[in-house]
């Protein structure tokens, strides 16, 4: 484990119920990250999606991958910039090639694996995949930018 949820909250501005990364298990600055979220039936989203057939929404999987990418981007900043993360935020620029391969349900552990395609200044382009039990359940190409709040 590299970062637990308390440490992740020092990096990302997201909070309950929208913090979608529980732990970071691998991080190579400027290159890649692996993180996960434990999907629980107690998630507020399951009250309406769907009460009798709970499926974790694809948009939440994409957001979780993006949050993992945010951790990667912030932790890849030069050391003198990392302390300023609380004054910055990551904005989506685009979501491309999104595909959903299998449903995610309560009890699943959603593993996010992201690799940097390109980083130019504040802009990050990432290849993102989400897995459950080593099977790809979602994938997308994400582009985001670190900006001042």
Q: Tell me the pLDDT tens digit for each residue of 123-146.
A: 999 999 999 999 999 999 999 999
Question: Nearest 5 degrees, angle CA 6-CA 84-CA 70?
Answer: 60
Residues 109, 107: Cα–Cα separation, whole Å: 7
Active site residues: 49
Delineate the domains of the chain, giving CATH numbers in brackets: 5-148 (3.10.129.10)
Residues 147, 85: Cα–Cα separation, whole Å: 10
Q: What is the pLDDT of residues 48-99, one digit of tens each?
A: 999 999 999 999 999 999 999 999 999 998 887 777 777 888 999 999 999 9
Here the tokens at position 93 are 């620029």
Q: What was the pLDDT predicted at 65?
A: 98
Average pLDDT over residues 19-39: 98
Residues 22, 63: Cα–Cα separation, whole Å: 13
pTM: 0.96
């Amino acid at each position: 484990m590299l970062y637990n949820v308390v440490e992740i909250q020092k990096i990302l501005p997201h909070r309950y119920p929208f913090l979608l990364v529980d732990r970071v298990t691998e991080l190579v600055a400027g290159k890649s990250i692996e993180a996960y979220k434990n999907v629980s039936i107690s998630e507020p989203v399951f009250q309406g999606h769907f009460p009798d057939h709970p499926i974790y929404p694809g948009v939440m999987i994409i957001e979780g991958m993006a949050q993992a990418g945010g951790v990667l981007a912030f932790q890849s900043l030069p050391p003198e910039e990392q302390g300023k993360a609380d004054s910055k935020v990551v904005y989506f620029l685009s979501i491309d090639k999104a595909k959903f391969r299998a449903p995610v349900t309560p009890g699943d552990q959603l593993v996010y694996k992201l690799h940097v395609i390109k980083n130019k200044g504040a802009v990050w382009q990432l290849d993102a995949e989400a897995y459950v039990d080593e099977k790809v359940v979602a994938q997308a190409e994400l582009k985001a930018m670190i900006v001042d709040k």
